[in-house]
């Protein structure tokens, strides 16, 4: 079975090194065993993506061929295409759950968790006429004020809303203090 992530990481590392890299260096840079890198390098060489040079087996050098450059680009493109499809699927599920809150007559929510979708969720909720009372997080570092919505630590949670929208799982120590309805919007894991 092909490991496309391993192939991409090897091709990228070899390309960046401009031929001045050994198996052990590749293994260290990508965090995989020397044996798995050795096996993958041999397959990549057979496919014509990598050229191996050197006489000493302990000091072989690896170079990306023109076909290898193309393959590295194809692997990156396919990865981005899959990620975009996943992003769209998660976004659509999130919007469906948030729309359901609006249809149920929920008028005030708080949000827990800062994810790539949190800002979009806040804007959507506001556009649906809901009041977002606060954005709760584990840490307020690097998170500014959004649309005058206070950013607070989850430990300071106050039940000042009808629904706490979870963009990520609540910390274990907070679950007993949460007494309002909780809506899981972001599929985590």
How do 131-137 and 108-112 pair as beta strands?
parallel
- In the prediction, which pLDDT does 140 show? 73
Question: Whole-prediction pTM value?
Answer: 0.61
> Hey, how many other C-beta atoms are within 10 angstroms of the C-beta on 20?
11
Q: Which residues of the chain have pLDDT under 50?
A: 189
Q: Which two tokens stand for residue 177?
A: 């203090």
CA distances from 72 to 15, 20, 26, 50 (A): 9, 18, 16, 11
Please give the Cα distance from 35 to 43 (Å, whole number): 13
- In the prediction, which pLDDT does 132 show? 92
- In the prediction, which pLDDT does 146 show? 57
- In the prediction, which pLDDT does 67 show? 95
- In the prediction, which pLDDT does 143 show? 67
34-78 pLDDT tens trace: 999 989 999 999 999 999 888 787 778 889 999 999 999 999 999
- In the prediction, which pLDDT does 158 show? 82
Structural domains of the chain, with CATH: 4-64 (1.10.10.10), 91-184 (3.40.50.720)
- In the prediction, which pLDDT does 107 show? 92
Closest CA to 166 of 115, 123, 93: 115
- In the prediction, which pLDDT does 65 show? 92
Q: What is the DSSP letter of 182?
A: E
Torsion angle defined by CA atoms of residues 166, 167, 170 and 175, in that order, rounded to the nearest 10 degrees: 0
- In the prediction, which pLDDT does 44 show? 93
Contacts within 8 Å (CB) and 24+ apart, 126-132: 128/98, 128/99, 128/102, 129/102, 130/101, 130/102, 130/106, 131/107, 131/161, 132/108
């Amino acid at each position: 079975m092909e490991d496309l992530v391993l192939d991409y990481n090897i091709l990228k590392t070899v390309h960046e090194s401009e031929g001045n890299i050994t198996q052990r260096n590749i293994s260290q840079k990508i965090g995989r065993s020397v044996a798995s890198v050795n096996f993958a390098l041999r397959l990549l060489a057979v496919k014509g993506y990598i050229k191996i040079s050197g006489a000493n087996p302990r000091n072989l050098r690896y170079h990306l061929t023109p076909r290898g450059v193309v393959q590295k680009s194809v692997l990156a493109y396919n990865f981005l295409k899959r990620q975009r499809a996943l992003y769209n699927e998660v976004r659509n599920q999130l919007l469906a759950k948030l729309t359901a809150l609006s249809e149920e007559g929920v008028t005030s929510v708080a949000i827990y968790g800062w994810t790539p979708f949190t800002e979009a969720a806040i804007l959507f909720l506001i556009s649906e006429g809901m009041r977002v009372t606060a954005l709760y997080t584990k840490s307020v570092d690097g998170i500014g004020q959004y649309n005058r919505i206070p950013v607070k630590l989850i430990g300071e949670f106050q039940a000042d809303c009808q629904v706490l929208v979870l963009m990520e799982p609540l910390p274990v120590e907070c679950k007993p203090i949460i007494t309002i309805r909780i809506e899981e919007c972001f599929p985590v894991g």
